[in-house]
């Protein structure tokens, strides 16, 4: 009886072990597992096709700026980077709530020069959401972006600036321009 159980256990192990290559062959033959086809080395070919939308003849300097409207620390991990139009790039922004209370905040981006706005495409950005941070909590958030190769040729530097402000908190609103007071008497 023990011998039969060992043979059955060994057969089950062998069958399970053989299922992986058998599964790959069946999926490849039926065209189900498309990823496995792309992972194969093709003789005379490269592993991954090059991104043909990257304009390697141009380099754009992207400067990063951070402004905080409130008592917290907010800054980019690096001041600037050089990228080619069409190339995916990522920069990290660092934030720390230095207050002794919980807060909710959000960032608003701006771009300079103004004509670069339509050509700066963010794929991932902390500015898309509001965040709640506990007292003393530190976070790092990525900004993944691509600069459109259709960016005018005269633009060689883009500044990405964020203003981080508290949402529904105790930070007073930004000052607004007051209408000039009219003085005059009755004549």
**For residue 94, how far is the Cα from the chain centroid?**
13
Give the pLDDT confidence score for residue 175 in this predicted structure: 53
Sequence-distant (6+) residues with CB within 8 A of 57 are none
Please tell me the distance from the alpha carbon of residue 93 to that of residue 140, in angstroms, as a whole number.
6
Give the pLDDT confidence score for residue 37 in this predicted structure: 45
Cβ-count burial 113-124 (b if 16+ within 10 Å, e if not): eeebeebbeeee
Domain 60-166: give its CATH code.
2.60.370.10
Phi-psi label, residue 86: left if phi above 0, alpha if psi -120 to 50, beta otherwise: left
Q: Which residues of the chain have pLDDT under 70?
A: 31-52, 169-187
Give the pLDDT confidence score for residue 5 in this predicted structure: 93
Give the pLDDT confidence score for residue 49 in this predicted structure: 53
**Which residue, 164, 166, 112, 167, is CA-closest to 141?**
164
Q: Could you tell me the two tokens for 106?
A: 């959000």
Give the pLDDT confidence score for residue 8 in this predicted structure: 93
Give the pLDDT confidence score for residue 31 in this predicted structure: 65
Which residue, chain included where needed, has tokens 């800054």?
75
Sorted by where each begins, the domain ranges of the chain are 9-38, 60-166
pTM of the model: 0.60
Q: Could you tell me the two tokens for 163?
A: 């203003």
Give the whole-number percent of the chain exceeding pLDDT 90: 21
Please tell me the distance from the alpha carbon of residue 56 to that of residue 52, in angstroms, as a whole number.
10
């Amino acid at each position: 009886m023990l011998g039969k159980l060992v043979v059955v256990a060994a057969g089950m192990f062998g069958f399970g072990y053989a299922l992986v290559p058998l599964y790959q062959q069946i999926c490849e033959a039926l065209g189900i597992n498309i990823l496995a086809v792309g992972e194969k080395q093709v003789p005379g070919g490269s592993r991954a096709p090059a991104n043909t939308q990257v304009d390697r003849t141009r380099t754009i300097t992207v400067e990063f700026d951070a402004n905080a409207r409130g008592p917290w620390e907010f800054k980019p991990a690096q001041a600037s980077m050089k990228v080619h139009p069409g190339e995916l790039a990522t920069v990290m922004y660092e934030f720390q709530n230095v207050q002794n209370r919980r807060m909710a905040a959000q960032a608003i981006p701006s771009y300079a020069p103004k004509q670069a706005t339509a050509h700066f495409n963010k794929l991932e950005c902390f500015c898309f959401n509001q965040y709640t941070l506990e007292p003393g909590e530190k976070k790092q958030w990525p900004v993944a972006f691509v600069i459109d190769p259709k960016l005018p040729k005269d633009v060689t530097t883009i500044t990405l600036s964020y203003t981080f402000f508290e949402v529904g908190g105790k930070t007073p609103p930004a000052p607004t321009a007051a209408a000039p007071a009219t003085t005059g008497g009755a004549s």
